[in-house]
Amino acid sequence: MNIESKLPDVGTTIFTVMSRLAQEHNAINLSQGFPDFDVNPELIDLVAKYMRAGQNQYAPMQGVPALRQAIAEKTGALYGASVGPETEVTVTSGATEALHCAISAVVRPGDEVIIFEPAFDSYVPAVSLNHGIPVYITLTFPDYRIDWDQVHKALSPKTRLIILNSPHNPTGMILQPEDMTALARVVGDQKIFIIGDEVYEHIIFDNVVHESLLRYPDLSSKSFVISSFGKTYHTTGWKIGYCIAPEALSTEFRKVHQFLTFASNTPIQYAYAEIMQKKELYLNLASFYQQKRDQFQALLKPSRFKALPCRGTYFQMLDYSAITDEPNEIFARRLTTEFGVAAIPPSVFYHNQDDNHVLRFCFAKKDQTLKEAAEILCKI
């Protein structure tokens, strides 16, 4: 039987496509955003500890209480926000699930959702599945800033949700205090909700403070703030994230969550709760990745690639216009198949396939991996 697709314009994600291509051609995979170095062995031991202790059945739907408490304590310490672990913190099966739950909780047919492009590829499908209408605003190239005048002009009586991502994937842009002021001015007293995709909250460079929505009570009162343990603890395959939202929003969020995954991996939740007591592991993450960013940029200085500013995340945008005028999808494939380095073409993160002749490279890799990749890139 033929089926009428609910997502007719959606194919296999570019991350899967490029990782498969890298594997087929034995290329260095700097495309998909995952580390190639080991997880902290203590964290693995903690998971095993709780498995052996019998924590192998369903966790509470909202998440293990000890983990929700640890999240609330960290949030208070870092952002000065008082968060109720019982009513305002929900543990999810990855940040992607959390994004889907938040969008589904508030978007109804005909509602407009402001999305900044380039945008992570799960936003628009979730909006479409809920019969919302994406309203696209392009970040300014090459600094990828938000033009708040455009945002103000894009608002309408149908505007229901604004989705923000900082630190930003794929560009490495971060929101600054003036952005938060502008956002507050734009939203005002209107019934507009906000999603803060803050999964790279601990990967921000040059001693800059992360401008979480949780720092701003007027904004956090209408926000879903989403983060990810996978990015913080180098465990992307474990798929545990969380959402912080006011009780009324969390209630609606959980109505979706309980019928999407119900509960997330139990022993891993207990392990995260315990290792979160070692605050240095997430507080030192910025310096760990800044060293890798700086190393990767230094290695590429002799190349014809031009590094764009990277202020957060573990992604580096490289301008290749001095090498070729090929569209970035074509050049990304050729870079993989002919030269042996895989990257992501950012045009896939635009609804109209905008192409600024840049590629996104992941530097969450061993030093040797970065050196080998840079040697190849410097020869192109």
pLDDT tens digit sequence for 249-278: 999 999 999 999 999 999 999 999 999 999
SS3 content of the chain, % helix, strand, coil (to 5): 40, 15, 45
Residues 73 and 94 in one domain: yes
pLDDT score recorded for residue 82:
97
Give me the domain span that covers residue 172. 42-278
Q: What is the pLDDT of residue 323?
A: 98
Q: Check residue 111 and give its pLDDT.
A: 98
Domain contains 9: no
Give the Å distances, CA to CA, from 231 to 94, 151, 198, 203, 363: 10, 29, 10, 9, 13
Confirm whether 37 is domain-assigned.
Answer: no
Residue 321, both tokens? 């216009």
Split into its structural domains, the chain has a count of: 2
2 domain-assigned: no
Residue pair 62/184 in contact (Cβ under 8 Å)? The answer is no
On whether residue 5 sits in a domain, the answer given is no
Spans of the chain below 70 pLDDT: none
Q: Residue 306 maps to which CATH number?
A: 3.90.1150.10
* Position 298 in a domain: yes
According to the model, what pLDDT value does residue 16 have? 87
Cα–Cα distance measured from residue 129 to residue 125, given in angstroms and rounded to the nearest whole number: 6
pLDDT digits (tens, 9 = 90+) for 131-142: 999 999 999 999
Asked whether residue 46 falls in the same domain as residue 121, the answer is yes
Q: Choose one of 278, 305, 320: the last residue of a domain.
A: 278
The whole-number pLDDT of residue 11 equals 80
In terms of C-beta density within 10 A (0-12 exposed, 13-18 middle, 19 or more buried), how is residue 3 classed? exposed
* 236 and 369 fall within a common domain: no
Question: Which of these three, 254, 278, 302, is where a domain ends?
Answer: 278
pLDDT of residue 203: 98
CATH number at residue 125: 3.40.640.10
